[in-house]
Amino acid sequence: MMTRCKRLTRLASLVSVLAFVPHGAADTLTARSCAQEDVQKAIDEAADGDAVAVPAGTATWRTSEANRPAVVISRRGREKAITLRGAGAGRTVITDATGPECFQVLIKSGERGIYRDVRDRVLRITGFTFKGDGGDAAILVGGYTNWRIDHCRFENRGRSLWVSGFGLVDHCVFDKKENGQSVFVSHADYAGGSHGDGSWRTPLVLGSEKAVTIEDCTFTYYAAKPNAALDACYGARVVFRHNTLHDAHLASHGTESSGRGRSVRSYEIYANRFHLGPGREWFTAMFLRGGTGVIFGNTLTGGYRSFALATNYRSTKAYPPWGKCDGTSEWDGNQEMNGYPALDQIGRSTDKGPGTPQQREPLHEWDNTLNGKDADITVSGGPAVQAHIKEGRDFINDAKWSGYTPYPYPHPLTHDGASGTPG
């Protein structure tokens, strides 16, 4: 990093836009306002490891066309990890007017296919309220291996977060007046693969930092139908723990996704509180279409008709390029006449690439309750689905995963000095 004198010289011409404040080993740049142009100028001026402070106020951020974010933290070839710090949720308020097209987002950082190792510093976004109609997402974080989004409030109408890489979402409030996913997780380009292939080729590692972790957040929906606090596909690896959900549920995708997308890879869902309010009813708290992992210690109350449903869409319908799992598709295990095991189905794990046998790793569930009674995973679908997903073989109720240890809680990133004040 350049010396303070040289830094001040460089900033002299920008004094009307930025304020320089020494901040330990890194620098803090303060944007003149929370306007889109002022924040972008401060980010562009910041070096890797610096912080950008955004003052209190309200602003509307816009984009002009598809694939254009309102504010960009990192561009290809100039990836950096900074702390983008608002004055606090409710004090720095950004209204989303970006538009509905692909990658029209408020804040974008990182590129698909680039997993940037920033272990000695953290890409962090904290202290904002985001609201408005929205588009593709409020915040999109690409393949960083050390990122944190915390202490933000999301009141936007569409998707709030679209994230990949390895990082943490914590102490955020998702207050969703309209339907729209709160957090969407994808590891499409992990480990040099595409569509999630790389994630499925990489061995299963539960209880580690190699996931998107969502903890200590509150999700509230007000629309007529509960919506997804979490959705995951394309090899996603997710930890969802110690969260509170009101009129919400969790979802995931299997190999029915478009564009040759692979299923969610793994999930660790535990110590969460789900509640449906009076007069509300929904078919399940968790809808699982593939992958494996652990689900334990969750408490459900209200009108959920089931705790967790496991299904496999390809048991009854063909989805390109995989086809139908009926014994005729080269992508499946074809150990039985019906094609079992289906690619990426519940209870399947690591492979050597599409079309090769996958390891068997049954999904485990234990110590979950629905309105005070023991709650188990059940299968959703007719005979064809039930022949592909069987209790005791592909998932196991009321049994701990031997040797499993959860990743430390709270997540170590909440106490990382490089990311600012803990928690």
Q: Give the model confidence (pLDDT) of 244-289 as tens digits.
A: 999 999 999 999 987 789 999 999 999 999 999 999 999 999 999 9
Q: Flag whether 25 is in a domain.
A: no
What is the number of alpha carbons within 13 Å of residue 106 lying toward its C-beta?
31
Residue 416 clears pLDDT 90, i.e. is over it: no
Residue 18 clears pLDDT 80, i.e. is over it: no
Q: How confident is the model at residue 20 (pLDDT cuts 50, 70, 90)?
A: very low
pLDDT value of position 77: 59
Q: Flag whether 366 is in a domain.
A: yes
Higher-confidence residue: 25 or 90? 90
On average, the pLDDT of the chain sits at 89
Higher-confidence residue: 40 or 416? 40
pLDDT value of position 101: 79
Q: Give the model confidence (pLDDT) of 176-234 as tens digits.
A: 987 789 999 999 988 888 899 999 999 999 999 999 999 999 999 998 888 899 999 99
Mean pLDDT calculated for residue range 336-363: 94
Task: Name the residue among 246, 264, 247 with its Cα closest to residue 255.
Answer: 264
Q: What is the dihedral of CA 247, 253, 257, 262, to 10 degrees?
A: 150
Q: How confident is the model at residue 2 (pLDDT cuts 50, 70, 90)?
A: very low
**How many Å apart are CA 74 and CA 72, to the nearest integer?**
6
Q: Flag whether 56 is in a domain.
A: no
Q: Flag whether 380 is in a domain.
A: yes
Please state the length of the chain. Answer: 423
**How many Å apart are CA 106 and CA 130, to the nearest integer?**
9
pLDDT value of position 23: 38
Q: Flag whether 240 is in a domain.
A: yes
Q: Give the model confidence (pLDDT) of 165-192 as tens digits.
A: 999 999 999 999 877 899 999 999 888 8
Worst-scoring range by mean pLDDT, 34-43, 111-120, 123-132, 371-380? Answer: 111-120
DSSP 2-63: --HHHHHHHHGGGTTTEEEEEETTEEEEEESSSSHHHHHHHHHHPPTT-EEE--SEEEEEE-
According to DSSP, residue 230 is labeled E
pLDDT value of position 17: 33
pLDDT value of position 99: 82
Highest mean pLDDT among 102-111, 180-189, 288-297: 288-297
Structure tokens at 357: 């046998």
According to DSSP, residue 66 is labeled T
pLDDT value of position 353: 80
pLDDT value of position 134: 67
CB 236 within 8 A of CB 262: no
Q: How confident is the model at residue 357 (pLDDT cuts 50, 70, 90)?
A: confident
Residue 59 clears pLDDT 50, i.e. is over it: yes
- Chain centroid to CA 133: 20
Strand order in the sheet with 299-301: 57-62, 92-97, 129-132, 153-156, 173-176, 218-221, 244-246, 273-275, 299-301, 369-370, 373-374
Task: Name the residue among 339, 318, 336 with its Cα closest to residue 327.
Answer: 339
With pLDDT > 70 as the criterion, what percentage of the chain qualifies? 89
Provide the domain count of the chain. 1
pTM of the model: 0.92
Higher-confidence residue: 163 or 67? 163
Task: Name the residue among 114, 104, 46, 116 with its Cα closest to residue 71.
Answer: 104
Residue with tokens 């097209």: 101
pLDDT value of position 15: 31
Q: Flag whether 154 is in a domain.
A: no
Q: Flag whether 389 is in a domain.
A: yes
Query: Taking the CA atoms of the chain, what radius of gyration do you get in angstroms?
Result: 22
Q: How confident is the model at residue 6 (pLDDT cuts 50, 70, 90)?
A: very low
**How many Å apart are CA 293 and CA 65, to the nearest integer?**
39
Q: Per-residue b/e over 345-375, b at no fewer than 16 CB within 10 Å?
A: bbbbbbbeebeeebeebbbbbbebebeeeeb
Q: Flag whether 73 is in a domain.
A: no
Structure tokens at 272: 């969460």
Q: Give the model confidence (pLDDT) of 298-332 as tens digits.
A: 999 999 999 999 999 999 999 999 999 999 999 99
Which domain does 407 fall in, by range? Answer: 164-411
CB 288 within 8 A of CB 233: no
**How many Å apart are CA 123 and CA 72, to the nearest integer?**
13
Residue with tokens 């009101």: 246
pLDDT value of position 418: 38
Residue 371 clears pLDDT 90, i.e. is over it: yes
If one counts every other C-beta atom within 10 angstroms of the C-beta of residue 2, the result is 11
Mean pLDDT calculated for residue range 37-44: 97
Q: Give the model confidence (pLDDT) of 134-144 as tens digits.
A: 667 899 998 78
